[in-house]
Amino acid sequence: MKRLSDIKFSTLDLVPVRENGSAAQSLRNSLDLAQHVEKFGYNRFWVAEHHNMDGIASSATSVLLGYLAGGTSTIRVGSGGVMLPNHAPLVIAEQFGTLESLYPGRIDLGLGRAPGSDQMTARALRRERSGSADDFPEDVAELVRYLGPRTPDQRIIAMPGTGTNVPVWLLGSSLFSAQLAGERGLPYAFASHFAPRYMHEAIRVYRNHFKPSAVLDKPYVMLGVPLVAADTDEQADYLATSVFQRILALMRGQSLVQRPPVKTMDGLWLPHEKDAVHDFLGLAMIGSPQKIRAKLEVLIEQTQADELIFTSDLYEHSDRVHSYELLAQVMRG
């Protein structure tokens, strides 16, 4: 049985844009956060591809990863993830092959099969390209080939890319990617930071379908976890209202810019919206270090996960940094 101190811990940064803030400041904050969590002992720092969202500044994912890797020295950096239906596999192989060539041994390529946007935006991204989520298994296989060793009869190569063997992860919030990751023998990251209700079933499907591969001899599960850590439970509950407002805005189709915390959410949401937000954040770790430690021990006991990747969507950057610092103390025991 795994203990909390056995578990690797990582950061997923959604590069949030705050009310009256700017994308430029958000990008600088992302690098500052990466530098801090590197010192705190985090294993990897991932950013996710989103488009047409005014509150998230990580749309040009590979460009941002170059900035983050260049400003850090040891922490792994990667995509959590690149939404493969938006791109030709060769383009992603070249981008991440370039990153791996510049920062060897530090790059991860997490792949998702959703567009990371609405259908209108997806069409704007692809234009004449006919790719869709249905092509995902074939696109993953093509991408892995480009990153693998060059074969004698290979007519198209990724340069840089070929022979770099950038670690590929499959990400998902449903059972499809869980099964595919298992069958391909790839590491699997489940998006339990926004789809916790399917977590246990997805882990079961992945492990049951797992076949050893050249990259993994046994299943490797990473879980996404929302984080609001503060010195006291009361302070954490207050800071979490920024997260609640953001999720509520997502559900209503409103602007996703970060809003400052409020003393109470009463009057800001309806009862059914409150329930929906709490369901969305069902795995959230909100509280003091002592409270979070107890909840994490239960999570590890129930899932036997190999790694946890935390996202902390707080309004003040200093609160985010402190949240990750407190968590590092919890994880190290």
What confidence tier does 292 reach under pLDDT thresholds 50, 70, 90? very high
* Confidence (pLDDT) at 128: 57
Token pair 């109470």: residue: 264
What confidence tier does 195 reach under pLDDT thresholds 50, 70, 90? confident
Mean pLDDT on 179-196? 94
User: Would you call the peptide bond into 137 cis, given omega within 30 degrees of 0 as the criterion?
Assistant: no
What is the count of structural domains for the chain? 1
Task: List, in order, residues 6 or more apart from 194 with CB less than 8 Å away.
Answer: 173, 224, 280, 281
Q: Model confidence over 13-28: pLDDT tens digits? A: 999 999 989 999 999 9
Mean pLDDT on 17-44? 97
Residue 207 class from Cβ within 10 Å (0-12 exposed, 13-18 middle, 19+ buried)?
Answer: middle
Q: Model confidence over 89-125: pLDDT tens digits? A: 999 999 999 999 999 999 999 999 876 556 677 676 6
* Confidence (pLDDT) at 30: 98
Q: What is the CATH number of the domain that holds 78?
A: 3.20.20.30
Q: Tell me the two tokens of residue 155.
A: 């007519």
Give the residue from 111, 47, 51 showing the smallest Cα distance to 85: 111
Residue range of the domain that includes 124: 4-332
- For residues 195 and 182, the model is more confident at 182
Q: Model confidence over 128-162: pLDDT tens digits? A: 555 555 789 999 999 999 999 999 988 999 999 99
Give CA–CA dist 94/102, Å, rounded: 12
Give CA–CA dist 17/130, Å, rounded: 32
* CB contact at 8 A, 117 and 125: yes
Task: List, in order, residues 6 or more apart from 104 with CB less than 8 Å away.
Answer: none
- Is the model's pLDDT at 173 over the cut of 60? yes
What confidence tier does 243 reach under pLDDT thresholds 50, 70, 90? very high
Give CA–CA dist 149/163, Å, rounded: 4
Mean pLDDT on 211-220? 96
* CB contact at 8 A, 7 and 331: yes
Mean pLDDT on 26-53? 97
Q: How many residues does the chain have?
A: 333
Q: Tell me what percent of the residues of the chain surpass a pLDDT of 90.
A: 86
- Is the model's pLDDT at 319 over the cut of 90? yes
Start-to-end CA distance of the chain, whole Å, equals 16
Out of 127-136, 223-232, 241-250, which region has the weakest mean confidence (pLDDT)? 127-136
State the average pLDDT for the chain.
Answer: 94
